[in-house]
A and B are shown apart, each in its own frame.
Chain A
Amino acid sequence: MRGLLARQHYDEMRDAQGQVREHFRALSEWLAETPARRVAEKRREADLLFHRVGITFAVYGDEAGAERLIPFDTIPRILPKAEWDELDNGLKQRVDALNRFLHDIYHDQEILKAGVIPPEQVLKNPGFQREMRGVELPNRVYSNIAGIDLVRHSDGKYYVLEDNLRTPSGVSYMIENRKMMMRLFPELFERQTVLPVEHYPALLLETLRASAPPRVREPVVAVLTPGQYNSAYFEHAFLAQQMGVELVEGADLFTKDNFVYMRTTSGRQRVDVIYRRVDDAYLDPLAFNKQSMLGVPGLFAAYRAGNVSLANAVGTGVADDKSTYPYVPEMIRFYLKEEPILANVPTWQCKKPEDLKVVLEKLGELVVKEVQGSGGYGMLVGPSASKSELAAFRKLLKANPSNYIAQPTLSLSTCPTFVKRGVAARHVDLRPYVLSGKEVKLVPGGLTRVALKEGSLVVNSSQGGGTKDTWVVE
């Protein structure tokens, strides 16, 4: 079985000959010499600790406020430093180009004029916010916090699966997983040097402060959450607490004369930077969704006036939409005059009749995704789909082709993972978090998500995925 998997997929721990890779050696030896009972004990301890601290997330569709624990796997995913350095460069390059793209399309639209991207792709995109045209942002950064999803194919190469430029979540797990590993298995950290990730909140605060409106000397930062029933509420509260800033809801904020204030027990306090974990549509009922109870009336006007910064900016959705994704390598060439360091997954755009034809023919081999979808909802994994699911998707595709893109089913790499019967290979992806303020920064690593079901390629926590600690080792 192990040999078969090693041939079919890239395994993070073992090479094609079944030999343990150099950077996994210390862990592998430790696994071999540690009694299974001790490891099992530690796993139970981890579960208990996570429950007590309350690192839970709510799942859509569950009873309101129902909380679940994301399964945590105690075998880390390990990357050698040299490999990480290349990812680091590639991620910085990609996010830089995406931010330049966003600035361009909301200003001179050079990339459209040059014919690199068809204008309707941008201008008719539901994520394109007309109101953002001509708005000047600090450092010209639109996506201050980006989460880039990477997978490793059987060829051993990393591919970017998608860019998350709106409100990427999961970073709290990256930090908590590390804390948990250090608490449970301190001896592992003595055997090799694992580069730290716990300073992420400090970097985030630095990034947010660097994004304040010019002339503000001591910027006041707040985290804006939709509230305690949001699936990522834990993370919002966690980050606010780690940064030492207020966690606010829409009703805590109000605007006056184009400035934004918090309601406090000792009167109003001005807010300069809002790390908002609320979608564009719910930010300001005056500017966007009129029915929104979450938003702050007048916030967008204050934003346009340059009196408050939003991270991320309004209107980034146009750049992380899956129909825009195929153009990212071109953006890198256009803005940076460089070759992309990180590869894109070849993508069929179903809105193109010739692509749709191919997709319908090969549906059983492909992964089909909604262009605006996220969280693993509304997607089809061809090879594991039933006949009726395939037929249903065929109908959807024909009815609304421009709503979908399709990609070959990548064989995500595998990593040893604890399952009921011991240790087995399970598929993983990787989401590093890229912070852009005055400079672009990231902590070494990210969130590794793992599909706990045998053979499954869906790693989303809402679909039964778990997480692992991610180690970059020297």
Chain B
Amino acid sequence: MLSRVADRIYWMSRQIERAENMARILGVTSNMVLFGTRETREQNLLAPLTITDSAERYFEQKKPVTLQGLVDFLALDPGNPSSIYSCLRSARENGHAVRWQITSEMWESLNTTWLEMKKVRRADLSGGGATKFFDWVKDRSHLFRGVTYGTIMRGDAFNFSRLGTFLERGDNTARILDVKYHVHLPSVKDVGGALDHYQWTALLRSVSSFETYRTLYRDQIFPIKVAQLLILERRMPRSLAACLDQVTQAMDRIEGHDRAAKRLAGELHARLTHADIEEIFQGGLHEYLTECIADMNELGARIQRAYLGTA
């Protein structure tokens, strides 16, 4: 497969996944700000900017951090390359460039999503409209992934699409979990309290794993179990381990002379397979996640170099 074509397919898939994750993060945030003290509310509003690494860009606008401001910037701003709007636009552009290498169903799904996105007005996202919009973004992403899985030939187009999807998802899950490191509780006595419970619950819901937690642990919500679920539990399809399962499987199917990317993917996979959550906590969860995020970043860079051209 042409490197340029693989590149477009890889990024198309990443961008759709990114739009979905952004919708998830914003959806949880809009729910979280309904709870807690003013201090935690502010921290909760900062969380989406921290997770998406876009605080600096946001403050350039010299606007206060409000929910509406976040939605404007992270969902609708055409000038912000990570906004839902921009992700859906780029995904459609990438799809357009390779529409003969993807199936017509995939193209039609991308195209329809973008045409509908263009019709969304700021006023549609006020009040309850925001939740509806975030659900729509998730639905469109589910649909695209399903259409891809159900229609495309099992070849390099499929492989690079999977790579893009699961690298993006793994990165996102790590960042979402890490946000608890930044959002502090008002005091130590609140640990395990109602507020703490709501924050962990919201976090689980943002990665669609609240029910999974209940099913697997049948227990109260404990941070260490949440971490176990989101990092090591391969039955949870948004966990780091599950994402790396998919990444290594896709890498194995790709023919190529590359060693560096495949080796790193293998290492990451092995590390997650043999890890122990107690040890991770002893070394510090934040440190562990920071390293994971850096490694996935490096893996992305190596994939880019080995297969997709440096463009």
Contacts and interface: CB of A to CB of B under 8 A. Distances in A.
Contacts of A237: 99-100
A58 to B, nearest CB: 12
Contacts of A53: 104
Interface string A246-258: 1111011000000
A227 B93 CA distance: 12
Contacts of A52: 108
Contacts of A247: 100
Contact of B257 (A228, A240, A251, A266): A266
B1 A265 contact: yes
B309 to A, nearest CB: 6
Residue among A52, A238, A249, A265 with max Cβ neighbours from chain B (10 Å): A265
A247 B108 CA distance: 21
A87 B108 CA distance: 41
Interface string A35-68: 0000000000000000011100000000000000
Residue among B2, B104, B107, B257 with max Cβ neighbours from chain A (10 Å): B2
A263 B99 contact: no
B99 A54 contact: yes
B311 interface: yes
A228 B97 contact: yes
Contacts of A266: 1, 255-257
How many B residues touch the partner, as a band? 20 to 34
A267 interface: yes
Contact of A265 (B3, B97, B107, B108): B3
Contacts of B156: 265
Contacts of A262: 2
B99 A265 contact: no
Given A54-B99, A237-B99, A265-B307, A246 B2 contact: yes
B254 interface: yes
Contacts of B307: 265
Contacts of B257: 266-267
A241 B100 contact: yes
A306 B257 CA distance: 30
B256 A263 contact: no
A252 B3 contact: yes
Nearest to A269: B2
A264 interface: yes
B4 A252 contact: yes
Nearest to A246: B2
B108 A263 contact: no
Contacts of A227: 97
Contacts of B97: 227-228
A388 to B, nearest CB: 40
Interface in B86-126: 96-97, 99-100, 104, 107-108
Nearest to B311: A251
B16 interface: no
Interface string B1-43: 1111010000000000000000000000000000000000000
B100 A251 contact: no
Contacts of B256: 265-267
Interface residues of A, number: 21
Nearest to B254: A265
B100 A240 contact: yes
* A interface: dominant SS: mixed
B2 A264 contact: yes
A228 B97 CA distance: 6
Nearest to B7: A265
Contacts of B96: 228
Residue among B4, B6, B99, B309 with max Cβ neighbours from chain A (10 Å): B4
A227 B99 CA distance: 12
Interface in A226-248: 227-228, 237-238, 240-241, 246-248
A293 to B, nearest CB: 12
B99 A251 contact: no
A158 B4 CA distance: 46
Contacts of A251: 4, 309, 311
Interface in B294-311: 307-309, 311
B125 to A, nearest CB: 26
B100 A264 contact: no
Given A52-B108, A251-B311, A264 B99 contact: no
A262 B2 CA distance: 7
A304 B138 CA distance: 54
Contacts of B6: 265
Contacts of A228: 96-97
B110 to A, nearest CB: 12
Given A52-B108, A251-B311, A263 B3 contact: yes
Contacts of B104: 53
Contacts of A240: 100
A263 B2 contact: yes
Interface in B116-162: 156, 160
A155 B217 CA distance: 90
B108 A264 contact: no
A120 to B, nearest CB: 44
Contact of A264 (B3, B107, B160, B311): B3
Contacts of A246: 2
Nearest to A228: B97
A53 B100 CA distance: 11
Nearest to B255: A266
Interface in B236-278: 254-257
B282 to A, nearest CB: 41
Contacts of B308: 265
B130 to A, nearest CB: 30
Contacts of B1: 264-266
Contacts of B255: 265-266
Contacts of B254: 265
Given A240-B100, A265-B156, 19 more contacts: A54-B99, A227-B97, A237-B99, A238-B100, A241-B100, A247-B100, A251-B309, A252-B2, A252-B3, A252-B4, A263-B2, A263-B309, A265-B6, A265-B160, A265-B254, A265-B256, A266-B255, A266-B256, A267-B256
26 contacts: A52-B108, A53-B104, A54-B99, A227-B97, A237-B99, A237-B100, A241-B100, A246-B2, A248-B2, A249-B4, A251-B309, A251-B311, A252-B4, A263-B2, A263-B4, A264-B1, A264-B2, A264-B3, A265-B1, A265-B3, A265-B156, A265-B160, A265-B254, A266-B255, A266-B256, A267-B256
Interface of B: 1-4, 6, 96-97, 99-100, 104, 107-108, 156, 160, 254-257, 307-309, 311
Interface of A: 52-54, 227-228, 237-238, 240-241, 246-249, 251-252, 262-267
Q: Give 8 closest A-B pairs by Cβ, nearest first.
A: A265-B307, A263-B3, A237-B100, A266-B255, A266-B256, A241-B100, A265-B6, A228-B97
